[in-house]
Amino acid sequence: MRNIRMVISYVGTSYHGFQTQPIGNTVQDVLEQAIVVLTGEKVNITASGRTDAGVHARGQVINFLTSSPIPVHRWALALNSRLPDDISVLRADEVPLDFHASYSAKRKTYRYSIDTNKFADIFERYYRFHYPMPLRLPEMRAALAKLVGQHDFTSFASQRSTKRTHTRTVISARLDESEGKLDLFITGDGFLYNMVRIIVGTLLRVGEGKWNVDDVVRILAAKDRTKAGPTAMAHGLMLWEVEYDD
């Protein structure tokens, strides 16, 4: 058996998230089906993490075991010719058998994109959450800085989270702005379910002046999901990059 790793990109708009589920129509289903067509072999894809319905990926990482002899440099082109145009394999390589796209991941980066202009840029309408409000960027950036570091992020995790511990390290975070468009880039050693979207929902309240930096410190310390802001819309979120030690 060989262990194949791939970096893939997908537009989440038309899918019920990454991971296979009874309702069907997931990115995983489509990928596994394309691999069956290519190799004649049913594989079981492992991703660096699932993404929810509507969430996009620029650089999702997956791996799977296969006995196919297809040379690794042929996989991307061969699969792309069999995939719909909203899913793309960017590269493929062969990795040791103990490589696991999720357990081996060291850092992940997400981007969350917001359009604060009165009328949304229609060319980014599926990727950028339209929130036409004046926002206090300095306060948002100061609040964001309070989340960097190792913390118990229970306040910023879905109550459906089943993780044993909610302690995670946010390694870096920045909020870019250009012509009324905001892009939050946040890198961490791992993220809890809905964590980036709840951080964004909370930062938007800070931006609107409903909360201050001190409120965010208080929310973080509370370890209580009900204290934080709402979960921001899925379509503004993109899994940007997953990093490994190699």
Specify binding-site residues for substrate.
110
**Active-site entry in 52, 115, 214, 246:** 52
Report how many residues bind a second copy under the rule CB under 8 A. 20
Three-state secondary structure string covering 13-34 = HHCCCCCCCCCCCCHHHHHHHH
What lies within 8 Å, CB to CB, of 44 at 6+ separation is 32, 64, 65
d(C-alpha 194, C-alpha 210), whole Å: 22
Six token digits for residue 235: 């379509």
Of 22, 16, 1, 14, the C-alpha closest to 69 is 1
Residues 14, 88, 158, 212: which binds a second copy (CB under 8 A)? 88
Binding to a second copy by CB under 8 A, coded x per residue (else -) over 155-174, reads: --------------------
224 has catalytic annotation? no
Least distance in Å: CB of 202 to a second copy? 26
Interaction of residue 93 with a second copy, rule CB under 8 A: no
80 is a contact residue toward a second copy (CB under 8 A): yes
Within 120-139, the residues that bind a second copy by CB under 8 A are: 120-123, 125, 127
Binding of a second copy at residue 85 (CB under 8 A)?
yes
Site for a second copy in 184-223 (CB under 8 A): none
Figure out which of the listed residues 4, 6, 11, 196 binds a second copy, where binding follows CB under 8 A.
11
**Smallest Cα–Cα separation from 129: which of 151, 112, 107, 104?**
112
Which among 96-104, 114-122, 134-142, 224-232 is the span making contact with a second copy, rule CB under 8 A?
114-122
Give the distance between the most distant pair of CA atoms in the chain: 59
For residue 42, count CB atoms less than 10 angstroms from its CB and return exposed for 0-12, middle for 13-18, buried for 19 or more: exposed
DSSP-derived 3-state class of residue 204: helix
38 in contact with a second copy (CB under 8 A): no
Residue 58, SS3? strand
Determine the interface stretch with a second copy among 85-93, 97-105, 144-152, 199-207 (rule: CB under 8 A). Answer: 85-93
**Closest distance of CB 124 from a second copy, Å:** 9
CB-nearer residue toward a second copy: 58 or 107: 58
Please enumerate in sequence order all residues whose Cβ is within 8 A of that of 226, keeping only pairs 6 or more positions apart, or say none: none
Where does this chain bind a second copy (CB under 8 A)? Answer: 9-11, 56, 58, 76, 80, 85-90, 119-123, 125, 127
Active site residues per annotation? 52
